[in-house]
Amino acid sequence: MMAIVLVTTILLASSAPSERPMFHPTTAQVAESYRRADTIGQDWRRKAFLLRLEPHWFSDGKEFWYRRDASDGKWQFIRVESKSGTKKPLFDSAKLAVAIKDKAEGDNPDPDKLDLRDVEFDGKTLKFVYGKQRFTCDLKTYSLTSSKWTPPPFRRPEPWLQDTWPASHSPVASPDGKWIARIDGLNVVACRNGDPERPLTVDGSANGYYARLTWSPDSKYLVAVRVHPGDRKLVHLIQSSPAPWGPAVLSSRIYDRPGDKVDTFDVVRLDPSGRKKPAFAEGIDYSDLPWFRPRTDGALAYEKMDRGYGRFRILKLDLESAKTTAIVDDQSKTFVDSTALIRHYLNSSDEIIYSSEKDGWHHLYLADGKGNSTQITKGEWVVRDLISVDEKERSMVFSASGMVAGEDPYYIHYYRISFDGSQRVPLTPEPGNHSAQFSPDGKTLLDTYSTVERAPVHELRSATTGSKISLLEKADIEQLTHSDWRAPQQFVAKGRDGTTDIYGLVFRPTNFDPTKRYPVVEDIYAGPQDSFVPKSFSPDFYQQRLAELGFIVVKIDGMGTRNRSKAFHDVCYKNLADAGFPDRILWMKALAATDPSVDLDRVGIFGTSAGGQNAAGAVLFHPEFYKVAVASCGCHDNRLDKIWWNEQWMGLIGPHYGANSNIENASKLEGNLLLIVGELDSNVPPESTYRLAAALQVSGKEFELVVIPNSDHTAGGIYGERKRRDFLVRHLLGVEPPNPNIQPPK
C-alpha cells in the first residue's frame, strides 16, 4: 500500500499545475472550514504538554523550582538542585491539599492539580494565592495563615508619549558633598557648604532651558544639558464611541515625524567656583536627553547618534577643556541599526563592549576607552545579544545565529568567550533554536531547544563549559501527533542574487488534497528591525488556522530584514517599498516548481503595521503577482509615521520618500485591497490609512475600508479577523463566506 501511495504522489507531482482542478469549496465546506479554523488551535494546544519550562531560581542560584503539567492531567511542583540536576517534589501535595481544605471553606482541592498562583518560595516558606485568598505555608508543619486577596485591577497600557524633557528641580549634590546644584526656573544655581546660592547660568529661556545636571567625578565641574524644543507638532485621534454614552473625544499628543525640527540638546560645562566661564561641548542634534557616565580619569562619557542614523559615537568629555573625543565611532554608508545596538560599560575600567556591523556582520568589539577597539567575535554569522559579562574572569556570554554550518542561519545558540576573542565555548550545542534562562549566579542555564517540527527539550547545563548536567523534561506531543495536526514545511530557495538562501515556512490545510490547486496567501512583515519567520515549535501557528480556509499560507524573511549579513540588511535602506518582494516572489515560484498544488495565479497577502504597508505595496508595486491584499494599520507613507523608525531605514527626507509611498502610488492599484485601521492607533497615526483611502478615491480605484472603533494599533481583533478571512475567501476562492447575520437552518 505504501508503494502505491508513493507512486501516486510522484505521478501527481509530475503533472502540470494547469492540468489540476482549482480547489473550489462549496458553501457548506467553507462554513465547516471557518468552524475548523476557530477550533483547531485550542484543540491542538490541549494535546501538547511541557512545551515551556519556567524556572524560579533561588536567590543564590543553587536551586530552582518549576511546575510540571503532564499529559496525565497532574500538576507537579518540582525542586531542582542546580549543580547535580537532582529533582524532588517542592512540597507534599497531599498534605498541602488537606491544609488548604481546612482553610478554604467549601473547597476540596485536588492534590494532583493544585491551582496555586503567584507562588513564592525561599527554601522554607511557601507563599501562594489560591482562590481569593493569599496563603503562607510553613513546610515543616504545613500550617497555613491566610489573608484576603484581591486581584489587581486591569489597566490599559498608556499610549507612548513623546518626552518633552521637563527639568528636574531636585538638588544634586557633588560627589565630595561640598556643593549643591539645582535648576531654578530655567537656569542653574549652586552653593557651597550652605553659602547663598549663586547663578551659574543666565541664558535659560523657553527656547533653551536647562533640564539635567551631572557632577564630574572630582566635584570640580558641573555638566548641564540645555534643551532647545523643536516643532513638537501634534498628532490627533478621535474616539468616535467612548463609553459611557457621550460625544466623540479628541486627543492630541506630540509626535515627531521625518523632516520635523526636533528637540536638540546643548552640553554645557559649568564651573561652580567661577574660575572658568561656561563652555559648550559637542551637543546632541537628535535622539534623547543624554546621560553621562563617570570615568576613572575624571572625564565623563556620553552617547550620540547622528540624525539619519549614519553615525553612532560614544564621546569622552574632558572637563578642563570641554572638548570631546570619540572613544567609539561607528559609521555606516547606510544606517547604524539602533534596534540591535549593544553597549556594556565595565564597572572596573573605562572599557566598553559594543556591537557593530562594520566588517559586514553584527559582532562584538572591546573599546579600551581611549579610542582604540579590538574585535571580539568574528565570522560570517551574527551576534544576537550580550547576555552577561564577567569582569573578573574577563569573559562574557552572548547569543548568536548562523555559526553552525549546515543549520538554519536564524537558529539561536549561546556561547561563552573571553574578552580577547579566545576560548569560545558553545553552551547550547544541540541542533535547533535555543532559548536559555540563566541562574542568578551565572553558573547554570536552563536550555530549551526545538524547531517548528521537533518538540522542545529542556536541559540543565553548565554556563561555564556547556556540559549537560541533566535532562529535565521533553515535551509530550504524543496526543498531538495522533491527531490531524501537522508541522509546517520548512522551505529554502535562492534570492534575487541567485546565491543567497531565503528561508520560510509553508502551511497547508489539514484536509489538503494534493490533486487540487490552492491559492497562496503570504503573511508578511518586512520591518528591518528583526526577522520574523518562526523558528521554534508551536502546536498552534496562526498561519495554520488561516490555511484551514483552503489556502497554502507562507511566511518568508526576504532581504532587507535583520539577522543576516549587513549587505542583506542594507537592501531596505531608502527602499522600504522593496520589502524583499523580489526574493519572496522567487521563493514562491521555487515552491511551486516543487509542488504543483501551489497556484501562483491566485496569490494574496496580508500584514499589520509595517506589514500593512508591505501588503498594500504588494498590489501597488507587484500587481502582476499579488492579486489580493489586506493591509491593517499600515504606514503607507513614511513621512507620516514616527521619526526614529523611518529616518533610521529611509534616511533624511528626500524624493525617495515619495517613490516609496503607497499614497503617492495609489493610482497603480490593481486587484483587490482591504484597508483596516483602529481609530485610536497610537503607533501609526490612522491618517496614514485615511490618506491612502483618499488617494485611492481620487484615482477612481475600488477598495474596501474598515475602521475599528475604540481600537489602538491592531490587526482588527475578532471583527477584523473575520473581515480579513472573508475578503481572502471571496476573492481567492471565489465563494461567498458565511454571513453571521443569517442563522443556518436547524
The angle at the Cα of 150, spanning 146 to 153, to the nearest 5 degrees, equals 160
Q: Pick from 678, 523, 541: which is nearest to 611 by CA?
A: 523
Q: Pick from 668, 676, 684, 691: which is nearest to 635 by CA?
A: 684
What's the number of CA atoms in the CB half-sphere (13 Å) around residue 713? 17
Query: Mapping DSSP to helix (H, G, I), strand (E, B) and coil, where does residue 626 land?
Result: coil
The residue type of 625 is F
Please list the alpha-helical segments (H only) found in 157-282: none
Residue 161 CA: distances (Å) to CA of 256, 651, 685: 11, 23, 13
**Chain CA centroid to CA 123, Å:** 35
Q: What is the pLDDT of residues 476-501, one digit of tens each?
A: 999 999 999 999 999 999 999 999 99
Number of neighbours of residue 512 by Cβ within 10 angstroms: 16
Contacts of 459 (CB under 8 A, 6+ apart): 430, 446, 447, 449, 468, 469, 470, 471, 472
pLDDT reported for residue 120:
92
pLDDT reported for residue 17:
55
The DSSP string of 539-578 is S--HHHHHHTTT-EEEEEE-BTBSSS-HHHHHTTTT-TTT
CB 365 within 8 A of CB 354: yes
Task: Tell me which H or E stretch contains 257.
Answer: none
Helix, strand, coil share of the chain (percent; to 5):
20, 35, 50
The confidence band for 74, taking pLDDT boundaries of 50, 70 and 90, is: confident
Q: What is the pLDDT of residues 555-611, one digit of tens each?
A: 999 999 999 999 999 999 999 999 999 999 999 999 999 999 999 999 999 999 999
The confidence band for 72, taking pLDDT boundaries of 50, 70 and 90, is: confident
pTM of the model: 0.94
In which residue are the cell numbers 497615526 written? 685
Q: What per-residue string of b and e applies to 385-404 under the rule 16 or more CB within 10 Å gives b? A: ebbebeeeeebbbbbbbbbb
Q: Pick from 182, 149, 153: which is nearest to 168 by CA?
A: 182
Comparing 5-14, 76-85, 253-262, 687-696, which segment has the lowest mean pLDDT?
5-14
Q: Pick from 659, 631, 638, 532: which is nearest to 584 by CA?
A: 532
Q: Where are the beta strands (DSSP E) in 513-664?
A: 518-523, 552-557, 598-608, 628-632
**What is the spatial distance between Cα 224 and Cα 290, in angstroms, rounded to a whole number?**
10
Q: What is the pLDDT of residues 22-68, one digit of tens each?
A: 998 998 999 999 999 999 999 999 999 999 999 999 989 999 999 99
**What is the spatial distance between Cα 502 and Cα 586, in angstroms, rounded to a whole number?**
9
Q: Pick from 444, 442, 476, 439: which is nearest to 457 by CA?
A: 476
User: What does the CA dihedral 251, 253, 258, 260 come to, rounded to 10 degrees?
Assistant: 120
Per the DSSP assignment, residues forming a β-bridge with 561 are 559
Task: Tell me which H or E stretch contains 415.
Answer: strand 412-418
User: Does residue 106 or residue 566 have the better pLDDT?
Assistant: 566
pLDDT reported for residue 322:
96
Residue 45 CA: distances (Å) to CA of 238, 482, 540, 610: 39, 13, 7, 29
CB 717 within 8 A of CB 272: no
**What is the spatial distance between Cα 393 and Cα 376, in angstroms, rounded to a whole number?**
15
Query: Does residue 408 surpass a pLDDT of 80?
Result: yes
pLDDT > 90 in the chain, percent: 88
Does the N-terminal peptide bond of residue 409 adopt cis geometry, omega within 30 degrees of 0? Answer: no
Contacts of 445 (CB under 8 A, 6+ apart): 414, 427, 428, 436, 437, 438, 439, 460, 461, 462, 463
pLDDT reported for residue 430:
97
**What is the spatial distance between Cα 294 and Cα 107, in angstroms, rounded to a whole number?**
59
Give the cell for residue 402: 548562523
The residue type of 87 is K
Query: Does residue 229 surpass a pLDDT of 60?
Result: yes
The confidence band for 540, taking pLDDT boundaries of 50, 70 and 90, is: very high
Give the cell for residue 300: 565623563
pLDDT reported for residue 15:
47
Specify burial of residue 234 (Cβ count, 10 A radius: 0-12, 13-18, 19+): exposed
**What is the spatial distance between Cα 615 and Cα 407, in angstroms, rounded to a whole number?**
30
**What is the spatial distance between Cα 526 and Cα 555, in angstroms, rounded to a whole number?**
10
Does the N-terminal peptide bond of residue 89 adopt cis geometry, omega within 30 degrees of 0? Answer: no
Q: How far apart are the first and last CA of the chain?
A: 42
Number of neighbours of residue 106 by Cβ within 10 angstroms: 6
Q: Which domains does the chain have, with CATH numbers?
A: 56-148 (no CATH), 490-733 (3.40.50.1820)
Number of neighbours of residue 376 by Cβ within 10 angstroms: 23
Q: What is the mean pLDDT of residues 101-113?
A: 83
In degrees rounded to 5, what are phi and psi of residue 11?
Answer: -65, -40
User: What mean pLDDT, rounded, does the chain reach?
Assistant: 94
**What is the spatial distance between Cα 480 and Cα 454, in angstroms, rounded to a whole number?**
12
Give the cell for residue 477: 506531543
